[in-house]
Structure 1
Amino acid sequence: MKKAVVVLSGGLDSTVCMSVAKQDGYKIFPITFSYGQRHSREVEQAKKVAEFYRCNKHLILDIGFFREIGASALTSYNIDVPTDRSVEQMQEDIPVTYVPFRNAVFLSMAVGYAEAIQAEKIYIGVNALDYSGYPDCRPRFIQAFQEAVNLGTAASDKNMPIKIATPLISLTKGEIIKVGVKNGAPLHLTTSCYLGGEKACGKCDSCRLRLKGFREAGIQDPIEYEIKD
């Protein structure tokens, strides 16, 4: 069976992305990163998602140096996570929840893993339409990274190129949720909250965008919230 590596955070987008890889007929090899984020909840949820899909191997890598790098509200307790912001406010600038060049690091490790297991594709749930403003989620970044993969891997030299798949990149959050429901993705196991509590806060940018997406999709969000507007 053909193989695919899936970058799995335990969040909504990466879980739906994993469901797409499954629907595409791949044997899934998820890779999850403990990168020095504020909480471990997303890693724990990623484990549950991998178990749901009965993955034979779930690679979890500890790359906590992002906490040492800092400069992000997701890795530094010295920077507050924004709350109660409107979509318009989220669009004003690159948010403080951006982790410097994180997706490049994730993709680099995923490519190495794909080469090692002879996987032909890497799925990553980046999205350019959810107002996050993260520069490493833009289509042109993925295109540039794909070129680097083509130039820098033995797989390409052997005419077995590794393709980076971004099936959610141009979808709205509501459309992503509909894809997940259609594919039977375990949305009840996902977490999106930047604060990582037992219940989602409902106030951070990620929670607000998730709730907005479920409203647009006309579907009930299966996770619990402290506050739900």
Structure 2
Amino acid sequence: MKAVILLSGGLDSSTVLYQALADGCECYAISFDYQQRHKRELHSALAIAKTAGVVQNQIVTFDLRQWGGSALTDDTIDLPQKRSLEDMSQNIPVTYVPARNTIFLSFALAYAETIAAERVYIGINALDYSGYPDCRPDYIQAMQEVFRLGTKQGREGKTITIVAPLLHLKKTEIIQLGNKLGVPWELTWSCYAGGDIACGVCDACQLRLAAFVELGLKDPLAYR
């Protein structure tokens, strides 16, 4: 069974790739250079794809800095730093990139239909403190209908299925799953800040670090 995996190189998407492999899928990874602040993640995506032995890893390039609207695509918007987990859960943060997952899934759908894949895997998580609107169950349900109605394959009764195995897992549970699957955490990247060493203070770093600490494990990634 062919599957397209949305692979950012982060903890979640890397776990999803390894889950797809465990599910017996022939994996085709797709990553995105959208001129994000943290383009360093693409190095991890390539390393993870190579280690996992994916059939092919595509990097799609486009520029969301043209209109910004997010701390990840607009340098005039400051990244949140050193926030408590409680603070992170209050509102949708400035790291939300407008319609990002819809854009990503559209590319993945086009790729999947072209290679006659049956599945698209995505590492979204509804329990994450960020609460992004495009990381929720009703969003996935709506996009699944788009997959059915918006493709030749779907209209012919062979709808490409969106698989979101981490949707209802806590970060600690994702790490536990990744450990079981053998995900090489040292190759992954979660930090939102630019640079070659993870900052340790942005929301993504803090969520990751807190989960490893809660499990009594050491994150093998180096931090500033």
Q: Decide: shared fold, TM above 0.5.
A: yes
* Paired residues of 1:174 and 1:215 also in contact (CA < 8 A): no
- For the residues of structure 2 that align with 1:198 and 1:37, how far apart are their CA atoms? 14
Among 72, 75, 80, the alignment partner of 2:70 is 72
* Paired residues of 2:12 and 2:123 also in contact (CA < 8 A): yes
Q: Which runs of 5+ in 1 are unaligned?
A: none
1:65-104 equivalences under 5 Å are 66-104=64-102
* Paired residues of 2:38 and 2:191 also in contact (CA < 8 A): no
> Match of 1:59, as an amino acid?
Q
Task: Find the residue that maps to 2:28 and give its secondary structure.
Answer: strand
- For the residues of structure 2 that align with 1:181 and 1:218, how far apart are their CA atoms? 13
Match of 1:54 in 2: 53
Q: Percent identity, please.
A: 51
- For the residues of structure 2 that align with 1:216 and 1:165, how far apart are their CA atoms? 27
Match of 1:161 in 2: 159
> Match of 1:69, as an amino acid?
W
1:53 CA drift (Å): 1.1
Q: Which runs of 5+ in 2 are unaligned?
A: none
1:153 CA drift (Å): 1.1
Moved more, 161-170 or 47-56: 47-56
1:63-212 equivalences under 5 Å are 63-64=62-63, 66-212=64-210
Report the TM-score, using the length of structure 1 for normalisation: 0.96
- For the residues of structure 2 that align with 1:76 and 1:115, how far apart are their CA atoms? 33
- For the residues of structure 2 that align with 1:94 and 1:145, how far apart are their CA atoms? 21
Task: Find the residue that maps to 1:58 and give its secondary structure.
Answer: strand
Match of 2:19 in 1: 20
Q: CA RMSD in A?
A: 0.9
Report the TM-score, using the length of structure 2 for normalisation: 0.98
1:57 CA drift (Å): 1.2
1:197 CA drift (Å): 2.4
- For the residues of structure 2 that align with 1:103 and 1:12, how far apart are their CA atoms? 17
1:36 CA drift (Å): 1.5
> Match of 1:172, as an amino acid?
K
- For the residues of structure 1 that align with 2:190 and 2:51, how far apart are their CA atoms? 18
1:151 CA drift (Å): 1.2
* Number of equivalences: 224
- For the residues of structure 1 that align with 2:140 and 2:62, how far apart are their CA atoms? 22
- State the 4+ residue runs in structure 1 displaced beyond 4 angstroms: none
